[in-house]
């Protein structure tokens, strides 16, 4: 007896998704609620759990196919029935068919592939697969840090960096140097055509729409990070001991942004038709890097949350983005966005707003620079910050003022305590 696997409900207003990857192949044993497939929606990747335990049956759709909510995408066979079925062959049987057909007495030169490595290689997501090809690493030799031990793009990049940094083996003076390996097809160059994921298509469409519809403008400032760095250094141990989380920079910028948005409400508003929708709360979308692209989960009511609660929320979002377990609910809403390009080494950028929001704050790397203080040149840890905004509803004076409020709060964190 077989059980059908259907596309689950994906969230409000989401009616379809794309098959991102199959996590189980026909013939694999499957436990109850074990993920068997990954679906890509416009915002997040959603895993499809098995409704029963048994053996993976036939896939009804292929990777890249678009499926609607409720559609049957696979079947799970009863373990006993699957052994008798002629439609679904266990992988071990399929792999040995070629062996049985060989002439009697012929020996195999290659050992059989390790099952664990085989499974590991067949569950690579498209982004991981591209990274493996680009960097020429062996995925079977990399330990995955994703959910259920699966490889993430960061795992591949780390392995590639380790491979690059590892010293070349020494060559004995007596032994002749090994001949260089011949280049593929006399130096033939390769290219690969990969269909954009649904999430990447949505990101591209939304960002292009923002450029075409909004009157985008960016204002810049620089911030002396001395006070925040000293505060973190002074209280990091006590903070971690009490709250179980490190005190990071994002909570400071989130609280500083809340001060600015309270004083400049247009930067916390939506433009809908010929109306401006103002909010008396601050829901901050925090840009987080995930294996399948950039996602922006929302720290809700950031204006009323403590530093610790904001740090805990952001850490949770980061971990779940890496594991691919963020939900549609995590992404919905948001009245303002903070994007931290500094973690990747960015010195300066012009971030694009996240529609229908009207403004986004861009953070960048901290570096020691000479600055003039009281007529003296001193070295300070400085950061450039940028505010991109929709000029249709935010005037230049308001944008500059909002960014100046954030700068002042970071340089004098006491302002955040006494609401200045």
Whole-number pLDDT of residue 180: 54
Rounded Cα distance between 77 and 94, Å, is: 17
366-373 and 376-390 as β-strands: parallel, antiparallel, unpaired?
A: antiparallel
Supply the pLDDT for residue 343.
Answer: 87
The residues of the chain that CATH labels 2.40.50.100 are 1-103
What gap in Å lies between CA 163 and CA 70, rounded to an integer? 45
Tokens of 379: 């070295």
Report whether CATH 1.20.1260.10 matches the domain 113-164. Answer: no
273: left (phi over 0), alpha (psi -120 to 50) or beta: left
Q: Which two tokens stand for residue 291?
A: 């294996």
**Active-site position among 28, 135, 395, 408:** 395
Cβ–Cβ contacts within 10 Å for residue 162, how many? 11
- In the prediction, which pLDDT does 298 show? 94
In the chain, which segments carry CATH 3.30.559.10? 215-418
User: One of 28, 391, 408, 419 is an active-site residue; which one?
Assistant: 391
Report pLDDT for 400: 97
Rg, the chain, Cα only: 27
Kindly report, as residue ranges, where domains of CATH 4.10.320.10 are found in the chain. 113-164
Distances (CA, A) of 206 to 201, 288, 291, 336: 9, 17, 19, 16
Q: Using one digit for the tens of pLDDT, what is the confidence trace for 249-264?
A: 999 999 999 999 999 9
- pLDDT score at 167: 60
CATH number belonging to domain 1-103: 2.40.50.100
Just give the CATH number of 215-418: 3.30.559.10
pLDDT tens per residue, range 251-309: 999 999 999 999 999 999 999 888 999 999 999 999 887 766 678 899 999 999 999 99
Q: What is the DSSP letter of 109?
A: S
Which pLDDT does position 239 carry in this prediction? Answer: 94
Residues (pLDDT < 50) of the chain are 82, 84-122, 171-173, 175
Distance of CA 303 to the CA centre of its chain: 25
pLDDT of residue 233: 93
**Predicted local distance difference test score (pLDDT) of residue 260:** 96
Q: Is 395 a catalytic residue?
A: yes
Per the annotation, the verdict on 368 as an active-site residue is: no
């Amino acid at each position: 007896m077989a059980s059908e696997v259907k596309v689950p409900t994906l969230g409000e207003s989401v009616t379809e998704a794309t098959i991102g990857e199959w996590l189980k192949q026909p013939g694999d044993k499957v436990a109850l609620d074990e993920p068997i497939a990954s679906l890509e929606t416009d915002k997040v990747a959603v895993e499809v759990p098995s409704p029963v335990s048994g053996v993976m049956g036939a896939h009804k759709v292929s990777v890249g196919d678009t499926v609607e909510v409720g559609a049957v995408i696979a079947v799970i066979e009863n373990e006993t029935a699957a052994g008798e079925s002629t439609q679904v062959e266990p992988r071990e049987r399929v792999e040995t068919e070629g062996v049985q057909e060989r002439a009697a007495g012929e020996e195999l030169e290659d050992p059989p592939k390790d099952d664990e490595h085989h499974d590991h290689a067949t569950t690579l997501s498209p982004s991981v697969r591209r990274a493996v090809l680009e960097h020429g690493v062996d995925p079977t030799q990399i330990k995955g840090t994703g959910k259920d031990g699966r490889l993430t793009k960061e795992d591949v990049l780390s392995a590639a960096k380790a491979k690059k940094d590892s010293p070349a083996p020494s060559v004995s003076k007596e032994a002749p140097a090994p001949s260089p390996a011949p280049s593929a097809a006399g130096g033939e160059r390769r290219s690969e055509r990969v269909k954009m994921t649904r999430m990447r298509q949505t990101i591209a469409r939304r960002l292009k729409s923002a450029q075409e519809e909004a009157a985008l403008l960016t204002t810049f400032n620089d911030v002396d990070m001395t006070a925040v760095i000293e505060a973190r250094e002074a209280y990091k141990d006590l903070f971690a001991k009490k709250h179980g989380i490190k005190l990071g920079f994002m909570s400071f910028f989130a609280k500083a942004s809340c001060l600015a948005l309270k004083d400049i409400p247009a930067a916390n508003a939506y433009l809908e038709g010929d109306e401006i929708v103002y909010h008396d709360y601050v829901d901050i979308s925090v840009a987080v890097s995930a294996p399948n692209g950039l996602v922006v989960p929302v720290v809700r009511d950031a204006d009323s949350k403590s530093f610790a609660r904001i740090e805990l929320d952001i850490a949770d979002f980061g971990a779940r983005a890496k594991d691919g377990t963020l939900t549609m609910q995590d992404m919905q809403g948001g009245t303002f966005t903070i994007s931290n390009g500094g973690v990747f080494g960015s010195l300066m950028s012009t971030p694009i707003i996240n529609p229908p929001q009207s403004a986004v704050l861009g953070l960048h790397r901290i570096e020691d620079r000479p600055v003039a203080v009281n007529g003296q040149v001193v070295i300070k840890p400085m950061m450039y910050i940028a505010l991109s905004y929709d000029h249709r509803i935010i005037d230049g004076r308001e944008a500059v003022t909002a960014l100046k409020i954030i700068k002042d709060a970071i340089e004098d964190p006491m302002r955040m305590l006494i609401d200045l």
